Amino acid sequence: MYVLWRIIVKELLQLRQDKKMIPIIFVAPIVQLVIFGFAVNTDVTHVPMVLVDQDRTSASRALLDRFVESGYFDLVGSEETPDAVDAWLVGGRAQLGLVIAAGYAEADATGRPARVQLIADGSDAAPATVALGFGSAIVAREAGVRLAEYRRHVDAEGELPAVGLTDLRPRVFYNPDLRSRWFYVPAVLAMILMIMTMLLSAMAVVREKEIGTMEQIIVTPIAAWQLIVGKLFPFAAIGLIQVFLVTGVAVFGFGVPLRGSFLLLLLLTQLFVLNTLGLGLLVSTLVRTQQQAMMVAAFTMMLPMLYLSGLIFPIENMPHAIQTITYAIPLRYYANIIRGIFLRGSGIDVLWPEALTLLVMGLAILTLASLRFRKRLD
Amino acid sequence: MALAVELHGLTKRFGAFVAVDGISLDVEEGEIFGFLGANGAGKSTTIRMLCGLLRPTAGTGRVLGIDVGREPEEVKRRIGYMSQRFSLYDDLTVRQNLRFYGGVYGLRGALQAEREAWAIETAGLAGKEDVLTRALAGGWKQRLALACAVLHRPRVVFLDEPTSGVDPLSRRRFWRLIDAMSEDGVTVFVTTHYLDEAEHCHRLALIHAGRLTALGTVDELKAVFATQAVLEVTAPRVAEALDLLASEPWVREVSAFGTRLHVVVENAEDGQRRILERLQATGNVPVRIDRIVPSLEDVFIHHVEAAGAEKRTVSA
Amino acid sequence: MKKIRAVAWKEVRQVSRDPLSLLLLIGLPAFMLVLYGFALNFDVRHVPLAVQDRDKTAASRDLVSTFVNSTYFDLAASPAPGDDLERLMETRRARAVLVIPEGYGADLAAGRTVPVQLLLDGADANTATTVLGYAGALVADANADAIRRTVLRASGRDVPAGIEYRPRVWFNPELSSTRFLVPGLMGVLLMLTAVLATALSVVREKERGTMEQLRVAPLRTAELIIGKTLPYLAISLLASVLILVAARVLFGVEVKGPYLALFAATLVYLIGALGLGILISTLADSQAIAFQGGLLVSLLPAVLLSGFIFQIRAMPPALQLVTYLVPARYYLVILRGVILKGSGLGPYWDQMAYLGLFALATLALASLLLVKREA
């Protein structure tokens, strides 16, 4: 035990000596969170839209107004023919084209359908999807309004029976204004934590190998577990400090609510960190130089984990084969935990499956890494 | 006397490359045992095997009776090791390094304080306890590294090229420390390529291309020249003289030592006469020809050449 | 010329001795494309929906099947009245809960407007937003149908079809995520690998001490820089070819525009990236710093601030200004134009100009700093 203490003291002393580490550990996460927090925003607003109104009636005008009133769309120009929309989309000056064909207003009277086209720039698929979704809803609602008017027109004598309509009343839980920032900022927290703990721990071990002090340590009677725990412990502590800092910025800087227990967050974060440190150690046993450690850790572990953990892209939409793989990704469970605690106010009663999984996975990874970690040079 | 270190056919292969080829030798307790050889001869690899850092491919090694291949951790408990790169933590102070290594070897409390004090005094670092290790000059770092390696009073100490890159004065001071340890009964196993230091050892092993080419005390090794004489020749044109004498059948060996030649012949007077004759004939008149006491360097070169000749005859 | 070749060859030999890094540099970008191409999908389909039907009449079942039969929603649970609905969302068994009140069918038949609640899990704001749109459209359609049927039944007259609405998507008709991803990923991965490789390579020489050796040689700074970056330029170009091949073979993403345009833009982009890498390496003292710095200025801006995933429009104005400095932003526009929209470089000459400017600026700055630091 005393030996373990000695190693931890040494690591901490070395960290303190490393002047460049202090900003990396404390300042970088905050800076990253601030940048991410502001940049990361998928709220659909100000979609530039170009109009082709071949009808030019008050009815078509009304449809345009619905679009503009919604607040999602900005009218940036108008053209005479649908073909002209092409240039706007190719040049990137508009993302959506609203084409109202001639005969729109008189459709009900003439019996010919009113034709409306929405042309979206699919090269940017995500916003295109959402924009189309909104656009469709607006058109559908307008269709309903026109239908109701037609019905009133036909029913001037009040002979038609009233029609029962469904009034959809949405009630949004946890994020009433549907701010995408509330979705992303906790995700960024998880990301920063993972990068810091995994990368730094991997590099710390490999650096000793590179410098040569590793040789001097493994020739002593120190037990492998003491060396491992001693080297990794400081990074667990650092991770904890970072959670404090980053949560502070998230809550007070970005107004993301922390509805659950902060203590629970800290506790479950440690379970997650168990996993990332284990992975960092595993990487260090596979490589010889710090550069290799960085590349292997970054590209084979962190990037895939980022994309496949459900943190940014929903898992439900992935092919089943890949969905199965995501069960092996610790970040997946931590993503649920972090959103649960911040936004849903979830307690351990809801999050215990994730907690248990992280615990088991963490121990498994650490054990695996420790087994690979030999007190020998070859 | 008991054996501190025993090697029986110790071998280490890295893929197809044989770094250490079946070395067998014994080291007695309290000896200062020198492992001599050129860079890449296999010295460090051998030491690393004995310290439990590498697993032998074949053969056995025993330190204080414990098999290094089977129980490396037991060995580590009882030995001290100073690696080639002085592996101290540059970003820790002198005291912090001592505290760390002491702790790792299980020292604590009064004992640790006592050993720390001893280390600081022995290494001459009094007043420098709180200096960052990277700020120390080479000689001090070297002594500190040695102190860290022996804080726990091991009976056997392995030193891998401990004096490389250190000034001569510091080297001498360092060897006085080693002498003191040996008088205490500690076995010191040291590798070096400085031949003048090798004279300091009780016994020497000469390693060349992974094989043991000579073993014995300094005098025993020099006895290889017992039936021969080594003459030192100073001539104006050294390279020319070297070529000329190398082709003479009565010259056993000839090699250049800076501006002089060392010529090994059967008979001193005979040799002197003939050398004078040959060189005068070409107008390359030697300034002096003296008989000298052979140095270890001469011994070393002799063995290297012999090994080389063996290799040539084998492959021919 | 010869000196450049000597430096370049040395670099090549060093790189080839580290096959792991080489493999990562070349193969990884393509591998990433494959992985994400298969995994990433922005379509919101199969949203787990819970339905609490307190009415259980034909009308309510009709409404339910409208939702469930669409590809958007999957029936995840049918909670009984009195069940904890929020719990369903909290445990993520359902993303939305449709609550149909008792008397729905009767009210509808009597011609009254009935409120139906849709509870949404707002934690995933993106999905929730899209779900809201879908649900709104589904209900609007159902209402329109109801009106149509009533009018038809009552007056015998058929009702006009209302608005015939056709959404069309250009350049990426199926809104396939891969087509969207390819340009973005190319920009990100190329920037990342080019910057990191170069940054680490120079810093490694500094750490090993060989940099001093090089400075003593009669080697001009420009020659050193060019020689060092040439091999990585070649490697990155190879990587970009691999990405395009993978995109074509596995996802059927074709380059619709001229390859020359693609090559030209990529070349300029890469030169700028390599220059950035060298710049970082002149400022960093250790590989750790070079790596983190490299990540910071290459990955982060390329992913976040280039318009790849997150709209620049939606960012606060201050940040929008910053995006003007990010080369990936311009490269992305060009890539999307050439690959997906089939355009040549014509509409994008100002983007190309900026990329060229960036390349010149970073190389110049790097040379300056390299000289200054050693002096």
Shortest Cα distance, chain C CAs vs residue A18, angstroms = 12
Supply the DSSP string of B43-84, one letter for each residue: HHHHHHHHTTSS--SEEEEEETTEETTT-HHHHHHHEEEE-T
Co-location of A29 and A108 in the same domain: no
Is B71 an 8 Å CB contact of chain A? Answer: no
Per-residue pLDDT, B50? 93
pLDDT digits (tens, 9 = 90+) for A346-360: 889 889 999 999 999
Which of A154, A189, A218 terminates a domain? The answer is A154
In a domain, A172, yes or no: no
How distant is the Cα of A291 from the closest Cα of chain B, in angstroms? 21
Q: Does A10 touch chain B (CB under 8 A)?
A: yes
Q: List the 243-262 stretch of A: residues with Cβ below 8 A of C.
A: none
Lowest mean pLDDT among A104-118, A144-158, B44-58, B76-90: A144-158
Query: Could you list the residue range(s) of the whole structural domain that residue A121 is in?
Result: 47-154
Number of A/C CB contacts below 8 angstroms equals: 372
Which of C141, C172, C196 is nearest residue A125 as measured by Cβ atoms?
C172
Closest CB to A213: pick one of B48, B52, B87: B87
CB of A212 within 8 Å of any CB in chain C? no
Q: How close, in Å, is residue B82 to chain A by CA atoms? A: 7
How far is CA C303 from its chain centroid?
Answer: 7
Selection from C182, C216, C226 nearest residue C359 by Cα: C226
Identify the H or E element spanning C52. Answer: strand C47-53
CATH topology for B227-315 is Alpha-Beta Plaits (3.30.70)
- A230 and A85, same structural domain? no
pLDDT the model gives residue A158: 62
Q: Are A120 and A96 in contact (CB under 8 A)?
A: yes
* CB neighbour class for A243 (10 Å; exposed up to 12, middle 13-18, buried from 19): buried
Report yes or no: A312 at the B interface, CB cutoff 8 Å. no
Q: Do chains C and B touch (3 or more CB pairs under 8 A)?
A: no
Cα within 13 Å of Cα(B190), Cβ side: 30
- Residue A315 within any structural domain of the chain: yes
Of B85, B99, B101, the CB nearest to A212: B85
| Residue of C46, C53, C99, C147 for testing the chain A interface, max A β-carbons within 10 Å | C147
Inside any domain, residue A160: no
Q: Which residue of A has its CA nearest to B92?
A: A14
CB contact residues (below 8 A), chain C span 143-202, against chain A: 143-144, 146-148, 150-151, 154-155, 157, 159-173, 175-177, 179-180, 183, 196, 200
Alpha carbon distance A205, A219 (integer Å): 16
Decide if A18 touches B, using CB distance below 8 A.
yes
Q: State whether residue A217 sits within 8 Å of chain C by CB.
A: no
Q: For an interface test with C, give the residue of A147, A150, A152, A154 to mutate (most C CBs within 10 A).
A: A147
Query: A50: closest CA among A92, A101, A98, A5?
Result: A98
Within a domain: residue A378?
no
Same domain membership, residue A294 and residue A212: yes
ipTM exceeding 0.90? no
Please enumerate in sequence order all residues whose Cβ is within 8 A of that of A88, keeping only pairs 6 or more positions apart, or say none: A50, A76, A77, A79, A94, A97
Give which of C312, C291, C316 is closest to C301, Cα–Cα. Answer: C312
> What is the rounded average pLDDT for all residues in chain A?
85
Q: What is the average per-residue pLDDT within B40-67? A: 91
How far apart, in whole angstroms, are the C-alpha atoms of residue C13 and residue C15? 5
Q: Specify whether A18 is located in the same domain as A95.
A: no
Q: How many domains does chain A have?
A: 2
Same domain, yes or no: A190 and A276: yes
Is the residue at A183 inside a domain?
A: yes
- Give the model's confidence band at A303: pLDDT under 50 very low, under 70 low, under 90 confident, else very high: confident
Per the structure block, which two tokens stand in for B240?
């020319």
A216, A113: one domain:
no
Q: Does A28 touch chain C (CB under 8 A)?
A: yes
Amino acid code (one letter) for A59: A
Q: Are A86 and A123 within one domain?
A: yes
Category of C41 on φ-ψ map: left (φ > 0), alpha (ψ -120 to 50) or beta: beta
Are residues A241 and A350 both part of a single domain? Answer: yes
Three-class secondary structure of residue C244 per DSSP: helix
Answer yes or no: do A56 and A34 share one domain. no
Contacts of C368 (CB under 8 A, 6+ apart): none
A229 and A106 inside one domain? no
CB pairs under 8 A between A and B: 79
Any domain includes A173: no
- For the stretch A111-143, pLDDT in tens is 677 888 888 887 777 777 778 878 888 888 887
Establish if B156 touches chain A: CB-CB under 8 angstroms: no
Indicate whether A82 and A185 sit together in one domain: no
Coil/strand/helix, residue B22 = strand
Identify the pLDDT of residue B24: 94
Helix, coil or strand: residue A227 = helix
Inspect the structure and tell me whether chains B and A have 3 or more CB pairs less than 8 Å apart. yes
Report which residue type is found at B108. Answer: R
Q: What residue in A sits closest to C345 (Cα-Cα)? A: A91
- Tell me which residue of A363, A374, A288 sits closest to A330, measured CA to CA: A363
Q: Do C163 and A146 touch (CB under 8 A)?
A: yes
What interhelical angle do B238-246 and B268-281 show, nearest 10?
120
Q: Looking at per-residue confidence, does B32 or C343 come out higher? A: B32
Report how far residue B107's alpha carbon sits from residue B112's, in angstroms, rounded to the nearest whole number: 5
pLDDT tens by residue, B176-228: 999 999 999 999 999 988 888 888 899 999 998 899 988 999 888 888 777 78
Are A295 and C21 in contact (CB < 8 Å)?
yes
**Chain C interface includes A371 (CB < 8 A):** no
Which residue in the set A2, A14, A222 is minimally distant from B108, CB to CB?
Answer: A2
The residue out of A99, A121, A154 marking a domain boundary is A154
Provide the percentage of residues in chain B whose pLDDT is more than 70. Answer: 97
What is the pLDDT averaged over residues B254-278?
86
Show residues of chain A in contact with B92, CB under 8 Å: 10, 13-14, 17
- Report the percent of chain B where pLDDT is more than 90: 34
Model confidence band, residue B316 (pLDDT cutoffs 50, 70, 90): very low
Q: Which of the residues in chain C have pLDDT under 70? A: 40-43, 155-163, 172-178, 211-219, 221, 372-375
Domain presence at residue A295: yes
Q: Is residue A166 part of a domain?
A: no
Domain ranges of chain B: 3-222, 227-315
Domain B3-222 class in CATH: alpha beta
Tell me, what's the pLDDT at C375?
47
Task: Give the list of residues 6+ apart from residue C116 with CB closer than 8 angstroms, or none.
Answer: A166, A167, A168, A169, C63, C98, C99, C100, C101, C104, C139
Domain-ending residue, one of A119, A139, A154 = A154
Helix (H, G, I), strand (E, B) or coil at C209: coil
Look up the pTM and report it. Answer: 0.77
Instruction: Please indicate if any CB of chain C lies within 8 Å of the CB of A35.
Output: yes
Give the one of A6, A17, A218 whose C-beta lies nearest to B100's C-beta.
A6
pLDDT of residue B5: 94
Q: Do A36 and A57 have their domain in common?
A: no
